[in-house]
Structure 1
């Protein structure tokens, strides 16, 4: 069965401190997992669509854990390879004090960084409706960067929509430097159909926080849809040959864990587009997904089902989210 959304990139095992304070005083951890692309794939699956995630994991227990868990969420993992020459990546989340979370990555030279263009499956990309890319993958290694551009070429060849979330990771830019990384992100954005940066990311990439100006720059390069997230306030949307505007975010009384909210938002936008919603209503739907994600701990635990999103919108606004088109 072909997937609605195909994506690829690194997913790591997360060890989350079970108590607050510096890690030297923490004796136990909760094992979770997370990766921007697999988060989106899981989000898509939970919202009722087919998703496929490609990657490499180590030939180790953590690698098997990732495949088992992600497949268990309804994602096609048939094209995830085990790689003997490197371990599965790992990151550790430290809770210093309420509101102060710190993340340490152990991902240099991980199995996923050895992913290359030969690992792509053109048939799966060709039969998909969306190829979703993030800016994390091309920073992992030169072979990963080549794979990103090759995948985009495959998608373009088969008229598959290319979605790009920069998802900037400055700690990964040391390999090539910030200026080259900025140009790399802009090159990928220019080849995409839908670009979904945060406002701070867009400002770093394009030198302005004027959302309409950023959108026009992207439209001039051939992008057709732009969505710019501005935290918990609103999201800006614009189409090259259509309307533009802002969609307010949903108010949340308590943010439990903001990590993964952007991936949930991206899944919501893509699900809305797959359903045939207008871009405005797709963003509105995605805002509800993001709000639900920040209300739960972990990267994927809070990703909602379609029924949960509709119920949330109905509760907040007094109407069924399902009627939005």
Structure 2
């Protein structure tokens, strides 16, 4: 079985819950998109490693401990006194759709640099996964792009989930351009329809550019609507299973974890990814598995806690 290495932010989701007296309370939940993916793979029975940085504080301690308890390899997870662990306050509407307020200015995850990468991490080819939340500042963006290139050079299959959060980007930033630079380094690209329309507008133009840039698989999710799947020379749609929406916080991460787990379980590499895609029955089976992971996650509150095990599916 291939390892999945997830790089990026691990943070605390403070989930708003209504109190009996009309005052909101906040429930502490371990989260962060790439951390969710690592935990999701581990909970499904896969080999997952998380690479990133948290603070030397009570929240950082909780994240290190919780990921390890779920079976994630945390030897590449640093703690630093130079920045605090990031917080994301999460509120849900009546339909379970979430909105975020981030406390992340100068946080520990943004201070991760290439020199923090453990020796030998890429000695064995793996699946390397990251998101756009480590592109929001110039220095962490340089680190992310360098890691993606380093993973490619080491023979890894590179996965990228856009996971766009507009309120993390400075007003003077050009997120569409920076995110495009990252997508151009990935073999598998996942983005939601909402993200695609906010950043780039037209789906077909965007997908064509991604495939021309070298992506082998492009996935456009749209909640409970069909998943659009593209590869060089072909496309298909996958109807997701119905889900009871409670909390959409980790839906996309559960989907990605499910897909990467299936690829890792079969030992799919960047060289064999094209053959996996060409086997349409296997492609659809594995994407349905990923959709079921997302369906389980949205039926539960939280992030790590919401991610499914194989038994849940």
TM over 0.5, yes or no?
Answer: yes
Partner of 1:289: 293
2:87 maps to which of 77, 85, 90: 90
Q: Can you list the C-alpha shifts for 1:75-107, whole angstroms capped at 9, x where unaligned?
A: 111111111122111222345767575432211
Gap change, CA 1:96 and 1:255, over 3 Å in 2: closer
2:194 maps to which of 200, 207, 226: 200
Pick 1 or 2: higher relative contact order, CA cutoff 8 A, min separation 6: 2
Partner of 1:228: 220
CA-based RMSD of the aligned residues comes to 2.3
Partner of 2:16: 17
Partner of 2:66: 69
Match of 1:42, SS state, is: helix
Partner of 1:321: none
Are residues 1:5 and 2:9 paired?
no
Match of 2:208, SS state, is: helix
Are residues 1:159 and 2:155 paired?
yes
Gaps of 5+ in 2: 267-275, 277-281
Deviation of the 1:201 alpha carbon: 1.7
Are residues 1:280 and 2:278 paired?
no
Aligned residues: 299
Partner of 2:45: 48
Calculate the TM-score normalised by the size of structure 1: 0.85
**Over 6 Å off, 4+ runs:** none
**1:89·1:106 contact (CA, 8 Å) conserved in 2?**
yes
Hey, which of these two has a bigger chunk of helix by percent?
Answer: 1
Alignment partners' CA distance in 2, 1:82 and 1:169: 24
Partner of 1:244: 235
Gap change, CA 1:284 and 1:3, over 3 Å in 2: closer
Gap change, CA 1:167 and 1:98, over 3 Å in 2: closer
Match of 2:84, SS state, is: coil
Question: Where in structure 2 are the equivalents of 1:105-124 lying within 5 Å?
Answer: 105-121=102-118, 123-124=120-121
Deviation of the 1:3 alpha carbon: 6.3
Deviation of the 1:188 alpha carbon: 0.8
1:303 maps to which of 283, 303, 307: 307
Gap change, CA 1:248 and 1:97, over 3 Å in 2: closer
**2:60·2:79 contact (CA, 8 Å) conserved in 1?**
yes
